[in-house]
Amino acid sequence: MSYQAPVKDMLFNIQHLAGLQTLTEQIPAFADFGLDTAGAVLEECAKLTQDVIAPLNWEGDKNPSFWQDGQVTTTPGFKEAFRAYAEGGWQGLQHPTDFGGQGAPKTIAAACNEMLQAANMSFALCPLLTDGAVEALLTAGSPEQQATFIPPLLEGRWTGTMNLTEPQAGSDLALVRTRAEPQGDGTYKIFGTKIFITYGEHDMAENIVHLVLARVAGAPEGVKGISLFIVPKFLVNADGSLGARNDAHCVSIEHKMGIKASPTAVLQFGDHGGAIGTLIGEENRGLEYMFIMMNAARYGVGVQGIGIADRAYQKAVAYAKDRVQSRPVDGSKPGSAPIIHHPDVRRMLMTMRALTEGCRAMASTAAAAFDAAHHHPDADARKQNQAFYDFMVPLVKGYSTEMSLEVTSLGVQVHGGMGFIEETGAAQYYRDAKILTIYEGTTAIQANDLVGRKTARDGGQLARGIAGQIEVTEGQLAQRDSAAARAVLKALRASREDFLAVVDFIAASAKANPNAAYAGSVPYLMLAGNLVAGWQLARALIVAEDTLATDKAFMEAKIATARFYAEHILPRTGALRRAIVDGADSVTELSLEAF
């Protein structure tokens, strides 16, 4: 089936959970981005993603990008689709108007990004990396660098990359060996090899702006001695035109399990005398700047998980309505019927739907916090929203991507044997989704961040504050008399208590017994993500019950989905709590020699 963007659900979240009207009232820069504008933007994005980009997804899996003689040729149709994307102004949607962007809230842009990811994840990785490059330049670039590089990036004439990983330096960037030699004229010569560079070489844009981590001679050892450089594929003249080819070359691309159309490059800098780069910000602060780019990308990867989960769900529903097999157990049909009549198929589809909608709601709420953190006129409001957003990033990235593996796997299962056959397309979503739990920081890295920086550092204070907000929602549910509200209240309260027990354990153990705290880091992330997604669906249920008459079928579906999540997915937190609090020692009990 063809992709159908879930515009109605996105607008529901933007209006009722993210609170777009409040953002537009409190933040002058967003005054023109009310609900009507949001609807118009999402509808236009839906047309582009459904009609132009989604049809290339299967083609990209069959005919991926290929490398020959240093050049990468992308999947047929990608170049034209990228031109349509760029000419529509989509790359600049959430970036400042000062540089030619639209200045839209992330609350709106994130929904558009989900559509793009759902339509074609391999294609969407190029704009995602460019967004990160723009964020890094906005944060640390000089006015001259910003004026030179940001406008063509937003126009889609150029694209951006992030160059961290080296053959010997994966997540541990202290091991980076790429070196930068100052030339005395403000430029540096860059020498080294970078691997796993998404869209490090391609044929869709005039220039590629590589942001490269490297070490200047004499810099301190470890992560404190890393600097960040702009190393464009083509040097840029003073008037902004393209100059000579830089000494930065793609020597191969990877052959991958999924996202096959996205070229993952090995880049060699300096084989022919040195690649010319310019320093971003100050020497030895590169990792600090790169984290800006990584944080933007981490949220974006979480949205990738939501997008691909939705695509898998839509395909599974279409198949379940079409595939006829066996008589329903309740006798509602006299003979064989579409498999959607079978209770276990319904269970799988509801699990897919509830997980996807819960994570979408969580991501939308986080986007609103980002907008307030960056643009609210009140300093205290900015600080509070930044803290909330920082806590949400590992949940959006970690939980939503792990969720996408469950959902895409269920998508294959709904298809039965046909799901294992490539031509149905269900397997592609499963293969594509796997990378999401790995790149931009594995699930374990997100979980370590959640434990160390987001929970243990303040003794669990922020986490308990979020639990307090959830308790307010419980109070609102307690005032309602519907069976759905009672069911959601019961499950939400139990999960919040599970969360608080784990927060107390983490806060008490992080220093005293770090192995115990970190042994439960990923389960803690999964518990927290499950709870926050369930909380957002509980909020959605309240809205849906109060506005039932506005769109009865949609609101009833929203209520049913929230109840299913509460009764079938939130209870997982109890098992996670027991594993974290009671099972920490058994994780490290087996001797290393016994493995």
Each residue of 1-21: pLDDT tens digit? 699 999 999 999 999 999 999
Q: What is the pLDDT of residues 302-322, one digit of tens each?
A: 999 999 999 999 999 999 999
Among 275, 353, 349, smallest CA distance to 319 is for 349
Contact at 8 Å (CB) between 491 and 567? yes
How confident is the model at residue 332, as a pLDDT? 87
pLDDT bucket at 331, cuts 50 / 70 / 90:
confident
Distances (CA, A) of 93 to 89, 100, 106, 118, 516: 7, 9, 9, 18, 44
Q: Tell me which fold the domain 7-155 belongs to.
A: Butyryl-Coa Dehydrogenase, subunit A; domain 1 (1.10.540)
Q: What is the pLDDT of residues 38-93, one digit of tens each?
A: 999 999 999 999 999 999 999 999 999 999 999 999 999 999 999 999 999 999 99
Rounded to the nearest angstrom, the gap between the alpha carbon of residue 438 and the centroid of all alpha carbons in its chain is 12
How confident is the model at residue 172, as a pLDDT? 83
Share of the chain above pLDDT 70, in %: 100
> Containing H/E element for 244?
strand 242-245
pLDDT bucket at 324, cuts 50 / 70 / 90:
very high
Return contacts of 561-564, CB within 8 angstroms, 24+ apart.
Answer: 561/350, 561/353, 561/354, 561/357, 561/537, 562/354, 562/484, 562/488, 562/537, 562/538, 563/484, 563/487, 563/488, 564/350, 564/351, 564/353, 564/354
As a whole number, mean pLDDT of residues 236-249 equals 97
| Mean pLDDT of all residues belonging to the chain | 96
Contact at 8 Å (CB) between 362 and 533? yes
144 pLDDT above the threshold of 90: yes
As a whole number, mean pLDDT of residues 136-159 equals 97
DSSP, collapsed to helix, strand or coil, labels residue 179 as: strand
For the full predicted model, state whether its pTM sits above 0.85: yes
Q: What is the pLDDT of residues 202-242, one digit of tens each?
A: 999 999 999 999 999 899 998 899 999 999 999 999 999 99
Q: What is the pLDDT of residues 29-53, one digit of tens each?
A: 999 999 999 999 999 999 999 999 9
As a whole number, mean pLDDT of residues 388-406 equals 98
Return contacts of 97-102, CB within 8 angstroms, 24+ apart.
Answer: 99/146, 99/147, 99/150, 99/151, 99/154, 100/150, 100/151, 100/154, 100/155, 101/154
- The residue extents of the domains of the chain are 7-155, 159-284, 443-585
534 pLDDT above the threshold of 90: yes
How confident is the model at residue 359, as a pLDDT? 98
Residue 406 annotated to the active site: no
Catalytic residue among 166, 402, 440, 545: 440
99 pLDDT above the threshold of 90: yes
171 pLDDT above the threshold of 90: no
How confident is the model at residue 169, as a pLDDT? 85
pLDDT bucket at 294, cuts 50 / 70 / 90:
confident
How confident is the model at residue 402, as a pLDDT? 98
How many helices (DSSP H) and strands (DSSP E) are in the chain?
Answer: 21, 12
Residue-wise burial string across 224-233, b where 16 or more C-beta atoms lie within 10 A, e elsewhere = ebbbbbbbbb
Q: What is the pLDDT of residues 416-469, one digit of tens each?
A: 999 999 999 999 999 999 999 999 999 999 999 999 999 999 999 999 999 999
CATH 1.10.510.10 is the classification of domain 159-284: no
Contact at 8 Å (CB) between 99 and 150? yes
Q: How far apart are the C-alpha atoms of 393 and 366, rounded to whole Å? A: 8
How confident is the model at residue 170, as a pLDDT? 81
Q: Tokens 């609101």 — which residue?
A: 555
Rounded to the nearest angstrom, the gap between the alpha carbon of residue 16 and the centroid of all alpha carbons in its chain is 22
How confident is the model at residue 292, as a pLDDT? 79
Both tokens assigned to 517: 């705290």
Q: How far apart are the C-alpha atoms of 193 and 463, rounded to whole Å? A: 40
